[in-house]
Chain A
Amino acid sequence: QSALTQPASVSGSPGQSITISCTGTSSDVGNYNLVSWCQQHPGKAPKLMIYEGTKRPSGVSNRFSASKSGNTASLTISGLQAEDEADYYCCSYAGDDTWVFGTGTKVTVL
């Protein structure tokens, strides 16, 4: 149950697009189309942004999109806004009724 690997930080200017990667293994990310992404502002509870690989919950901006290739999933934030500054975590089902989170990425809006 090793954590999925994410870059520690990603930054971009307002209006730009950024992409966060999430690398796992053939036992988790690569084996299931069940990656989700959460946003967490400091001191707050996580908020679901993407589930089942590419789906957005109601109320989540369409500036957030996701994809997967092999053992790596990616979250793209388009039209970066100040309110997007937060920590982002990927999460994957890992089989045998277990889940694994990513190491987390701090997004900074310059």
Chain B
Amino acid sequence: EVQLVESGGGVVQPGGSLRLSCAASGFSFSSYWMHWVRQAPGKGLVWVSRVTTAGTYTSYADSVRGRFTISRDNTKNTLYLQMNSLRADDTAVYYCAREGSGGYHFDFWGQGTLVTVSS
């Protein structure tokens, strides 16, 4: 069974940093591109970032480029999101999602971890 379990969320002050993790199991993690998607309270889904299988290539939404870094450790079956210079509008539930075979869609999602940026 495919499982994605996020962790690392919490309350952080504006300007602070946080690192999210997503532990994957039940599939060959190193064979799949992975993404982060976020959802502000009561709002819609917003794509954040993607990393390729080996971690070589990454891409980001304009709103987080230069502040967030996506990475992965295939030996630990874990996806990461390093978030720096956090702002109030980064407050959201952050989901990791697997990009499905054939690409361009998200076929499995974790349950999410809540990040709250507040003083």
Contact = CB atoms under 8 A, between A and B. Distances in A.
A38 B45 contact: yes
Interface string A42-54: 0011111001100
B107 A57 contact: yes
Contacts of A48: 100, 105-108
B44 A51 contact: no
B70 to A, nearest CB: 12
Interface residues of B, number: 25
A96 B59 contact: yes
B59 to A, nearest CB: 4
B80 interface: no
A103 B44 contact: yes
A45 B109 contact: yes
Interface string B98-110: 0010101111111
A64 interface: no
Interface residues of A, number: 27
Given A36-B104, A97-B59, A91 B109 contact: no
A73 to B, nearest CB: 13
27 contacts: A34-B105, A36-B105, A36-B106, A45-B109, A45-B111, A46-B95, A46-B109, A48-B100, A51-B104, A51-B107, A52-B102, A52-B105, A57-B100, A57-B107, A91-B45, A91-B105, A97-B50, A97-B57, A98-B59, A98-B61, A99-B50, A99-B104, A101-B37, A101-B44, A103-B44, A104-B44, A104-B45
Interface of B: 35, 37, 44-47, 50, 57, 59, 61-63, 95, 97, 100, 102, 104-112
Interface of A: 1, 3, 32, 34, 36, 38, 40, 44-48, 51-52, 57, 89, 91, 93, 96-104
Shortest 7 CB-CB contacts between residues of A and residues of B? A97-B59, A51-B105, A36-B105, A104-B44, A45-B109, A99-B47, A34-B104
